[in-house]
Amino acid sequence: MAPPILRDILTLIALGLVIGTLWEGFETIILPRSVSRGFRLTRFFFISFWTFWRTLAAFARNEDDRESFYAYFGPLSLIFLLFVWASLLIIGFALIQYFHGVGMMTDAHSLFDLFYYSGVTFFTLGYGDIVPVTKFGKCWAVAEAGTGFGFLAIVIGYLPVLYQSFSRREVAISLLDARAGSPPTATELLVRFGREGNLSQLDILLREWELWTSDVLESHLSYPVLAFYRSQHSRQSWIAALTAMLDVSAAIQVGIKNAPMWQAKLTFAMARHAVVDLSMIFHAPPIYNIEDRLPQAKMQQMREQLEEAGVPFCDDPGAEQELYELRRSYEPYVAALSSRFIMPLPPWVMTDPEPDDWQASGWENGVLK
């Protein structure tokens, strides 16, 4: 038996494990804001698990299999995180009983027995084969049972909220498919609206996406695991959609006549706010030495496509430089997020246009038979 002082120290360490785990759960699930503390168990878990998952994905046979493998990470990481929290709480409560020498109504009360008793108590099973006999033990059992009950209740309430946020995000991304192509591109969106003479309708679209970006920012700050949830189609992602709308808003501000300039500025401001804050939360520093997404050749191609659709781009010599400055204010951040989550950025112009996702299926492509 360890000396009393050592037992008290070990008991405090075990108590710290319980309190620390509960605090992690509070910050992750209940606290509606980001946490800037240097070390967080939850952040360490996601970073290490994501690194491991990416390593395994390298063995996939092709890009489609790799993308499918990535899609499992979000839900599985959430399940494993809940398992880790529950395990740490059970271990912490068991160690407190062990180090404090709580009397049990049983002939044997080994460390394994205490782990078993702690798990039964935490999940409120109450078999009764091992019960506490001291006042401290009884009080501690009630505290653990209450903690376990509250933990399960919060998890049950947490999952619907999480998936509601995911559903809201994906509905808008799916609607963007017919409007901006697959993957969504700024040029394709402007061309499609221009061909139909619906540039004035861009005001409604940009308003909706201003709200969408603010919702993504709030939900992904409150529930970071959502960022790992991937879209149904490999050519769609929340990062690609966010980048495409930044591109559209930047192009309208610089040189698209008869387009909603003011709303484009508002949407751009909200979207840039989102990518900057999210890159900070996910510790993804901006990447400045990236390949130019709109070199001169692509710029000329964009001009030609817009001209053909009746949406001429401003021919002011300073327009291209102004567009470059706007791009430089957000592209390093979306590039960082793209690298962190392995979600490709959309091009400004589609070199070889492909059918939209709604125009094709696995049956037609011969994937499903």
Tokens coding 19: 């309190």
Backbone angles phi, psi at 131, to 5 degrees: -135, 150
Asked if 240 and 182 count as a contact pair (C-beta separation under 8 A), the reply is no
What pLDDT, on a 0 to 100 scale, did the predictor assign at position 141?
86
Q: Model confidence at 97, in pLDDT bands (50, 70, 90)?
A: confident
What pLDDT, on a 0 to 100 scale, did the predictor assign at position 237?
94
Tens of pLDDT, residues 168-205? 999 999 999 989 988 999 999 999 998 887 788 899 99
Question: What integer best gives the mean pLDDT of the chain?
Answer: 87
CATH class of this structure's domain 4-156: mainly alpha
Tens of pLDDT, residues 275-285? 999 999 888 99
What pLDDT, on a 0 to 100 scale, did the predictor assign at position 294?
92
Asked if 90 and 115 count as a contact pair (C-beta separation under 8 A), the reply is yes
* pLDDT above 80: residue 8: no
What pLDDT, on a 0 to 100 scale, did the predictor assign at position 9?
81
Q: Model confidence at 165, in pLDDT bands (50, 70, 90)?
A: very high
Residue 174 to residue 192: CA distance in whole angstroms: 16
Look at the block and give the residue holding tokens 């939900």: 219
Q: Model confidence at 28, in pLDDT bands (50, 70, 90)?
A: confident
Q: Distance between terminal CA atoms of the chain? A: 68
What pLDDT, on a 0 to 100 scale, did the predictor assign at position 326?
94
Residue 257 to residue 128: CA distance in whole angstroms: 76
What pLDDT, on a 0 to 100 scale, did the predictor assign at position 366?
54
What pLDDT, on a 0 to 100 scale, did the predictor assign at position 363?
56
What count of residues does the chain have? 369
Asked if 281 and 34 count as a contact pair (C-beta separation under 8 A), the reply is yes
DSSP 345: P
User: Which one, of 225, 213, 231, 65, lies nearest residue 155 by Cα?
Assistant: 225
Residue 121 to residue 131: CA distance in whole angstroms: 10
* pLDDT above 80: residue 358: no
Tens of pLDDT, residues 284-311? 999 999 889 999 999 999 999 999 988 8
- List every span in the chain annotated with CATH 1.10.287.70: 4-156
What pLDDT, on a 0 to 100 scale, did the predictor assign at position 184?
92
Asked if 103 and 137 count as a contact pair (C-beta separation under 8 A), the reply is yes
Cα 205 from chain centre: 24
Tokens coding 122: 């935490």
Asked if 238 and 231 count as a contact pair (C-beta separation under 8 A), the reply is yes
- The pTM for the full model equals 0.86
